[in-house]
Structure 1
Amino acid sequence: MHGVKRVKQTPQALDAKKQRECAKLAEYLALTKDIISRKKSRDWSREALHLTSRLLQINPEFYTVWNYRRNIFLHGIFPNSTLEGINELLSDDLSTTMAALKAHPKVYWLWNHRRWCLENIPSGPISDDGSDSGGWKKSTWDRELFVVEKMLDADPRNFHAWDYRRYVLASMTTPRPKKSELAYTARKIEANISNFSAWHQRSKVITSLWDGNRIPLAKSRKEEFELLRNAMYTDPNDQSVWIYHRWLVGSGADKELLESEIAAIQELLDEQPDSKWCMESIVHYKRLLLRNHLEHVDTQKLSAECQELLEQLQRIDPWRRRRYEGIAQEMTG
């Protein structure tokens, strides 16, 4: 840090530090060797479980140890436990992985183990009328959605958390309304239009709403284009917005829609003459017109306009020059 005087460590201090690091490494290697040996001998004891806890605290990416831990539960501990005991054990593991995720939010194996825990929570308890109320599972799924929302509050672009959120939503005993999830993605996008994961989630949710005829298709598409228009003007260089725009156009790319969106993007390009994404998108949509509506467009005019834009793109985006040249050659060939 600026303004903080560095204190030079003595040779003795450096040597002591090195010895501590060597001791930690030796302990880690010995622990690893012990656990791998126990795994090979099919040791399903609670002692072995405790050792895996110690090792995974040091290295949460050691997937072999996660697999061994699950086998200890399945073959050694669950068979001798009550349903309440199994639920308590898995709840403890959910708490442990939650603490680990705060430090390592993008370690896949932590998210993966949470899935396994949730899938192995026993149903129950049984209600007074003798029916299975969903009990632990229901309350756990509700809590899990709260957990993943907290994770996304901390890092709205954590794609592991978004993928896990989709898993939780699909597994909940009482499904969350799709419109609620659509509103959730809108809030995340409003907070940060660059949140590609939120746009991706939105595409999945809105597609399911369209497929189920739960929202008017034409009205919904119009609203999505309005949302995109605001995002484009906020940051015309944001890739996430343009990728979602192409997906939305692709969901109903008739001639009228293509021409309407080309005109709208051209207005933005007139204000932002060096916008790479505006140019690329106009070229993309004009090529769709040429490909899908050849008999109803001025092919010579559209081709010339695309070539002009591709030449501009080669100048402002030299790193992708070859790509633009290839598109231009493809159009003339």
Structure 2
Amino acid sequence: MQSHGIPRVAATTLDKSEQARNKERKQIIQYQALERDVVDRAKAKDYSDTTFQLTSQLLTQNPEYYTIWNYRRLILQHVFARELAADEKPSEQDSAAAEKANLPPAQHEVLLLIKEDLQFLIPLLKQYPKCYWIWNHRSWLLGTATKHLPAHSAVTLWQAELGLVSKMLGLDSRNFHGWGYRREVVLAIERLNSNGDGEKGSGTGNMVESEFAYTTKMIQSNLSNFSAWHYRSQLIPASSPPAKPTPTPAGNFWTRSSNSSPERCTRTPTTRASGFTTSTSWPHSTLRMRRRCLYWILVGGRSMRGIWSGRLGV
């Protein structure tokens, strides 16, 4: 059986050997002991490196354990505060590395810690791509980088994250966690690349053009990708032309969308998930499909119920 075209791992057979059952019992006992140890340390407010490594072990086995993710962040906050407040002189090697990164030594150390934790999450993300708490922790790390590091260092991390989420959506193009996270990443990059007025998408930071092109590519590869349609619907209001004409081509999105996407719809074979059919299936199908596509472009599928019930007149 598949989910969004991604094959599911087959369940293990119930007829396990005695040796396999004994191994499983041993793993359960070890997990329970590890969990008790970490929980006891959390109660004692132990923020040591040893405890941090134990949280890594526990979360690798159970990434849905959100309480431990919260504890891990407390440990990291403690470490970041300690590094930023440190008065001791760094080694020559650390000073050289910090100078190369154009950062004070303390901030460079925080950057290294954030990169290390981001790297820890990658195998987990590959194994559990729809685990909310992994995406949430990555978001927190990057938000912390934005708070404690200069813009040039923070934006580099966010841009690398955009590449990562593109790869994840390449593996599963309808992963709604990935699409929602992509929007968060893009907004952060836009803010950091703005002219400093604090407004999203201002100055050279606007990424609507490139993101609109990305949704076009993803929709063309899979017309029933409702997550991509919804993401596209969030881009179009931001690209609507202002009261006074500007030299930017943002306002052309409305024309491009209404002209190109319906044609794409009429060329697409039957797609069971989206309810689209070819023009020979029923009368006026081309017109109806164009209207459905336009609806998705403009509102991003906020009310699929309206389409099927005919309340939208399509």
Aligned to 2:254: 221
Q: Is the 8 A contact 2:42 2:71 kept in 1?
A: yes
Query: Which consecutive unaligned segments of at least 5 residues does structure 1 have?
Result: 1-10, 126-131, 243-267, 284-319, 328-333
Alpha-carbon distance between aligned partners in 1 of 2:116 and 2:67, rounded to the nearest angstrom:
20
Is residue 112 of structure 2 the alignment partner of residue 88 of structure 1?
yes
Return the letter of the residue paired with 2:109: G
Query: For the structure 1 residues 227 and 71, does the alpha-carbon distance in structure 2 shift closer, same or farther, using more than 3 Å as the test?
Result: same
Aligned to 1:152: 169
Structure number with greater CO (CA < 8 Å, separation at least 6) is 2
Alpha-carbon distance between aligned partners in 2 of 1:65 and 1:191, rounded to the nearest angstrom:
39
**Greater helix fraction, Structure 1 or Structure 2:** 1
Question: Residues 71-127 of structure 1, C-alpha deviation per residue, up to 9 Å, x if partnerless?
Answer: 11113x2232232222111111101112211111110000000011001126787xx
Query: For the structure 1 residues 269 and 107, does the alpha-carbon distance in structure 2 shift closer, same or farther, using more than 3 Å as the test?
Result: closer
Query: For the structure 1 residues 39 and 29, does the alpha-carbon distance in structure 2 shift closer, same or farther, using more than 3 Å as the test?
Result: same
Alpha-carbon distance between aligned partners in 2 of 1:241 and 1:137, rounded to the nearest angstrom:
43
Alpha-carbon distance between aligned partners in 2 of 1:154 and 1:103, rounded to the nearest angstrom:
12
Query: Which consecutive unaligned segments of at least 5 residues does structure 2 have?
Result: 1-14, 84-105, 194-204, 293-304
Aligned to 1:190: 220
Question: Residues 203-254 of structure 1, C-alpha deviation per residue, up to 9 Å, x if partnerless?
Answer: 111110105465475x643432333322432145566587xxxxxxxxxxxx
Aligned to 2:8: none
Return the letter of the residue paired with 2:232: R
Return the letter of the residue paired with 1:138: V
Query: For the structure 1 residues 238 and 276, does the alpha-carbon distance in structure 2 shift closer, same or farther, using more than 3 Å as the test?
Result: farther
**TM-score, with structure 1 as normaliser:** 0.64
Q: Write the mapping of 1:5-20 to structure 2, written as runs, cut at 5 A.
A: 14-20=17-23
Alpha-carbon distance between aligned partners in 1 of 2:40 and 2:241, rounded to the nearest angstrom:
52
Q: Which has the larger radius of gyration?
A: 1
Query: For the structure 1 residues 42 and 85, does the alpha-carbon distance in structure 2 shift closer, same or farther, using more than 3 Å as the test?
Result: same
Aligned to 2:51: 48
Alpha-carbon distance between aligned partners in 2 of 1:240 and 1:147, rounded to the nearest angstrom:
28
Aligned to 1:69: 72
Query: For the structure 1 residues 222 and 240, does the alpha-carbon distance in structure 2 shift closer, same or farther, using more than 3 Å as the test?
Result: farther
Among 136, 142, 147, which residue is 2:159 paired with? 142
Query: For the structure 1 residues 34 and 270, does the alpha-carbon distance in structure 2 shift closer, same or farther, using more than 3 Å as the test?
Result: closer
Q: Is the 8 A contact 1:236 1:275 kept in 2?
A: no
Return the letter of the residue paired with 1:223: R
RMSD across aligned positions (CA):
3.4
Is residue 141 of structure 2 the alignment partner of residue 117 of structure 1?
yes
Return the letter of the residue paired with 1:182: F
1:171 is paired with a residue whose SS is: helix
Aligned to 1:205: 235
Q: Is the 8 A contact 1:87 1:122 kept in 2?
A: no
How many percent of aligned residue pairs carry the same amino acid? 33
Deviation at 1:53, TM superposition (A): 0.3
